[in-house]
Structure 1
Amino acid sequence: MGMLSRFFGLQAAGTTVRTEVVAGVTTFLTMAYIIFVNPSILSEAGMPASSVFVATCLVAALATIIMGLLANYPVACAPGMGLNAYFAFAVVQGMGYKWETALGAVFISGCLFLLLTLVGLRSALITAIPTSIRSGITAGIGLFLGIIALKSAGIVVANPATLVGLGNLHQPTVLLSILGFLAIVALDALKIRGAILIGILLVTALSFAVGGNTFHGLVSMPPSIAPTFLKLDIAGALSGGIWHVVLVFFLVELFDATGTLMGVAQRAGLMPRVPAGAGRDAPTDRRMRRALFADSAAIVAGSVLGTSSTTAYVESAAGVQAGGRTGLTAVVVALLFLAALFFSPLAGAVPAYATAPALLYVACLMLRDIGELPWHDATESVPAILTVVAMPFTYSIANGIAFGFISYAALKLLTGRARTVAPAVWVIAAIFLLRYAYLGAG
């Protein structure tokens, strides 16, 4: 205990080993749903769910333990929600790329992300992107997750006359999804830790009785990761005209990971002071720079193991609320992810309609960012709303981001406020314009 206290600086942080362990368990319970949801989503891209389950646990453990040991931050990492849906439903199913090529695109975006972090430009770039567009991207991904969740639950179905319609609400699986969603929301409102995980397990348990599911055991040795390990096709990603996909991965990783990391650090009282003249979000502290490096390297590691982009998890705030202040909290989370490797039969028994309520609730939480838009300024709010509505209605996060950046630049130009637009916005808008001009839809 004394060695742990000295290594992580527990006394200086005003915490104890017991507090850090409790905080780690709390964080794990709030984000453990990803070990069920991620394989479910990526299996829609043709990836073997059992191998994705192993990759999810391994990359979450690896990234989180690096965060804890290198940066001494109480922040956990895992494959990000939204990006896994974009990977499976937009890049693979929508654009027709193989999942190996999509992994190659994740690897390239991760390398760019890591390079940007190492040269110190990451925070400078994120401050150049308008806050309204950032809010629009988060909310748009929320709506995108929402329509995927409703489809997986059977609540929304295809309709030849109206494109979409209401599913059969008499089906047991649909009713179980609705029950799971209400349970998750109620439990979370009552401040019960692990509400999302409890909801998933509740629906899964009921599925054996009324959903026709089959129980194959609870504990076993981990499945093989061979079907996804080192299967990324970097050459295919470089030569397949997939650079707009890389750009989307890169931008969402930039907003999601950096924003989450700094937000949790701020809540824990770990955010460094920003000297006069520095960027608004510029991280100057050595621990923060190491934390940025840890979550950047995790993206590359995830693509090698066989999963979509990894990011810092906002659920880490639950552990901070429980008293977590050092990397020991993160180490505890990492160890629990490694222990989860032995529960693969349970993960394989979780049906899509059991994870759909979790997706839908995450979607609801992500939509809260709409409230932060400057509604009095149409040149800010309209591009953000175009971003939000384009993602679900074109079934593409890429199109939503493109519509947002292009309309933002155009409206600022037409209203004589071009000088207020950062150069990075013009560059990103131009890239998307060229993509539509030469590649068209897709």
Structure 2
Amino acid sequence: MHNLLNSYFKLEENKTSIKTEILAGITTFMTMAYILIVNPAILSETGMNFNSVFTATALAAIVSTLLMGIYAKLPFAQAPGMGLNAFFAYTIVIGMGHTWQFALTAAFLEGIIFILLSAFNIREAIMNSIPNNIKKSISVGIGIFIAFIGLENAQIVLHPKSGTILSLGNITNGIALLAIIGLIITGVLLAKNVNGALLLGIILTTLIGIPMGITKLPNSIFSAPPSISPIFLKFQWNDILSKDMFIALFTLLFMDMFDTVGALVGVSTKAGMLDENGNVPRAKQALLSDAIGTTLGACFGTSTVATFVESASGVAAGGKTGLTAVSTAIMFILALFLSPLFLMIPSAATAPSLILVGLFMLSPIQEIDLSDFTEAIPAFLTIIMMPLAYNISDGIIFGVVSYVLLKLLTNRGKEVSIATYILAVLFILKFFI
């Protein structure tokens, strides 16, 4: 088995080991396991069965992440994406007044379109058209974005209803205090170069949360997966040619494409996986894995699948190959049957890992040319807009459009590729459709 895994995933060539890859996969799972509860919570507001969506979420994550690991051989995990699920529930269903079956149909059609775009290398061409300095800044922006998510999950940073845009939470007790304790523990483990520091930090923080009353022990460990029959293949075909379906499809396509592209480019940059041309290796396979995951996820009964930026935590823990993704998928399989055990982990325990991953992803900023303002300004806008707009796609939009405009207005338009010009035009049109 060792020789088979080493040969298939090229572990020695990538200077990694089975142990490191498995620990990295578990770490990735721990930082994104929240989706098993958050996604059903959001989609159930449309009338979908919470327990059924839990199973559908896990199944979508398992299938798409296995594809990413075995087919694309990359250390990225996939699951129904945040933001995409909110658009599904709050815009298509609640806002536009459609049924959740209509929204599932939109997600399914989007997946089919993405399979075609990926098969004909259109998504890969779009990814490769992003300028190198912006690719590096995507990694930095995602790092700050992840850290921001961690600070929010820990209630260290709050969104008050009035007054300041952000404010400091109550850090002297409760969730915020536990997260700060976890941050110190994980920081010490990292400083001492302890293997699996992020994962060990999550476990220790979870245990400390028990006497603090934050970690709630489950009544039982084993639980059979709920049936997906109430939501399985529940499509609605009578409105597929409507204007609302077009709007829903276009928006889902746009959000999914650039959330996934951003995650792939950003995490690959941090992992040092980009090739000599600055492109993500096996990008076509990665994008096909995402597209197939979205299509099957809609069949199971959940919203659009995307590559998770939390994959950066596994990369930071040493994950370099598809074995990391396979390990994450196995954890999702276990979660189907041992959900009470995994769901007892509080957000305060995973938040320190997300915050510190933000630090790990800052390093590409050293490679960005800050002396050339036509390069530095787009890079800066990419970085700063991701956390402030709370959206990876918007950061990429500001970066690419400003890059093209600054090059044109300084008589350096020849430095911009035709593909980048086309991408910038599509980004601008997005705001008017």
Show the counterpart of 1:201. Answer: 203
AA paired with 2:77? A
Show the counterpart of 1:239. Answer: 246
Q: Is the Cα–Cα contact under 8 Å of residues 87 and 308 in structure 1 kept in the other structure?
A: yes
Size of the aligned set, in residue pairs, is 412
Show the counterpart of 2:132. Answer: 131
Alignment partner of 1:354 is 2:349: yes
Q: Which residue of 176, 179, 183 maps to 1:177?
A: 179
Alignment partner of 1:414 is 2:416: no
Alignment partner of 1:25 is 2:19: no
Task: Give 1:175 deviation, angstroms.
Answer: 0.4
AA paired with 2:34? V
Show the counterpart of 1:192. Answer: 194
Task: Give 1:341 deviation, angstroms.
Answer: 2.6
Task: Give 1:397 deviation, angstroms.
Answer: 3.3
Distance 1:257 1:93, change over 3 A: same
Distance 1:88 1:150, change over 3 A: farther
After superposition, give the CA deviation of every residue in 1:134-161 in whole Å (9 maximum; x if it has no partner): 2333333333333333233222221622
Task: Give 1:97 deviation, angstroms.
Answer: 5.8
Give, in whole Å, the separation in 2 of the partners of 1:320 and 1:150: 24
Show the counterpart of 2:221. Answer: 218
Give, in whole Å, the separation in 2 of the partners of 1:356 and 1:14: 29
Give, in whole Å, the separation in 1 of the partners of 2:143 and 2:408: 29
Structural mapping, 1:161-172, within 5 Å: 161-172=163-174
Find the residue that maps to 2:411 and give its secondary structure.
Answer: coil
Structure 2 spans left out of the alignment, 5+ residues: none
Give, in whole Å, the separation in 1 of the partners of 2:412 and 2:108: 37
Distance 1:50 1:366, change over 3 A: farther
After alignment, is 235-244 or 384-393 more displaced? 235-244
Task: Give 1:302 deviation, angstroms.
Answer: 4.0
Q: Is the Cα–Cα contact under 8 Å of residues 43 and 53 in structure 2 kept in the other structure?
A: no
Structural mapping, 1:364-379, within 5 Å: 364-379=359-374
Find the residue that maps to 2:166 and give its secondary structure.
Answer: strand
Q: Which residue of 305, 311, 317 maps to 1:309?
A: 305
Task: Give 1:348 deviation, angstroms.
Answer: 2.7
Alignment partner of 1:383 is 2:378: yes
After superposition, give the CA deviation of every residue in 1:229-272 in whole Å (9 maximum; x if it has no partner): 556889597333562452232023234336757987959xxx8x
Distance 1:14 1:401, change over 3 A: closer
Distance 1:298 1:224, change over 3 A: same
Question: TM-score, structure 1 length as denominator?
Answer: 0.74
AA paired with 2:78? P
Give, in whole Å, the separation in 2 of the partners of 1:355 and 1:227: 32
Show the counterpart of 1:79. Answer: 78
Q: Is the Cα–Cα contact under 8 Å of residues 386 and 392 in structure 2 kept in the other structure?
A: yes
Task: Give 1:38 deviation, angstroms.
Answer: 2.4
Distance 1:162 1:40, change over 3 A: same
Task: Give 1:373 deviation, angstroms.
Answer: 1.6
Task: Give 1:88 deviation, angstroms.
Answer: 5.4
RMSD value over aligned CA atoms? 4.2
Q: Is the Cα–Cα contact under 8 Å of residues 123 and 257 in structure 2 kept in the other structure?
A: no
Q: Is the Cα–Cα contact under 8 Å of residues 39 and 49 in structure 1 kept in the other structure?
A: no
AA paired with 1:133? I
Q: Is the Cα–Cα contact under 8 Å of residues 64 and 293 in structure 2 kept in the other structure?
A: yes
AA paired with 1:434? L
Give, in whole Å, the separation in 1 of the partners of 2:285 and 2:149: 35
Find the residue that maps to 1:238 and give its secondary structure.
Answer: helix
Q: Is the Cα–Cα contact under 8 Å of residues 138 and 383 in structure 2 kept in the other structure?
A: yes
Give, in whole Å, the separation in 1 of the partners of 2:297 and 2:187: 30
After superposition, give the CA deviation of every residue in 1:45-77 in whole Å (9 maximum; x if it has no partner): 345876565445434443454456556x4x444
Distance 1:301 1:161, change over 3 A: same
Distance 1:353 1:320, change over 3 A: closer
Task: Give 1:177 deviation, angstroms.
Answer: 1.1
After superposition, give the CA deviation of every residue in 1:333-379 in whole Å (9 maximum; x if it has no partner): 64454234322002332333333323323333333333332101111
Q: Which residue of 372, 377, 402 maps to 2:397?
A: 402
Find the residue that maps to 2:77 and give its secondary structure.
Answer: strand
After alignment, is 93-102 or 83-92 more displaced? 93-102
After alignment, is 21-30 or 373-382 more displaced? 21-30
Give, in whole Å, the separation in 2 of the partners of 1:385 and 1:28: 31
Find the residue that maps to 2:172 and give its secondary structure.
Answer: coil
Show the counterpart of 1:154. Answer: 155
Task: Give 1:90 deviation, angstroms.
Answer: 7.5
Give, in whole Å, the separation in 2 of the partners of 1:185 and 1:65: 31
Find the residue that maps to 1:62 and give its secondary structure.
Answer: helix
Structure 1 spans left out of the alignment, 5+ residues: none
Give, in whole Å, the separation in 2 of the partners of 1:232 and 1:181: 45
Give, in whole Å, the separation in 2 of the partners of 1:245 and 1:371: 34
AA paired with 2:343? G
Show the counterpart of 1:297. Answer: 292
Give, in whole Å, the separation in 2 of the partners of 1:292 and 1:113: 8
Identity %: 31
Distance 1:58 1:435, change over 3 A: closer
Q: Is the Cα–Cα contact under 8 Å of residues 107 and 299 in structure 1 kept in the other structure?
A: yes
AA paired with 2:245? L
AA paired with 1:177? A
Alignment partner of 1:254 is 2:261: yes
Distance 1:252 1:227, change over 3 A: same
AA paired with 1:344? S
After alignment, is 224-233 or 332-341 more displaced? 224-233
Distance 1:339 1:163, change over 3 A: closer
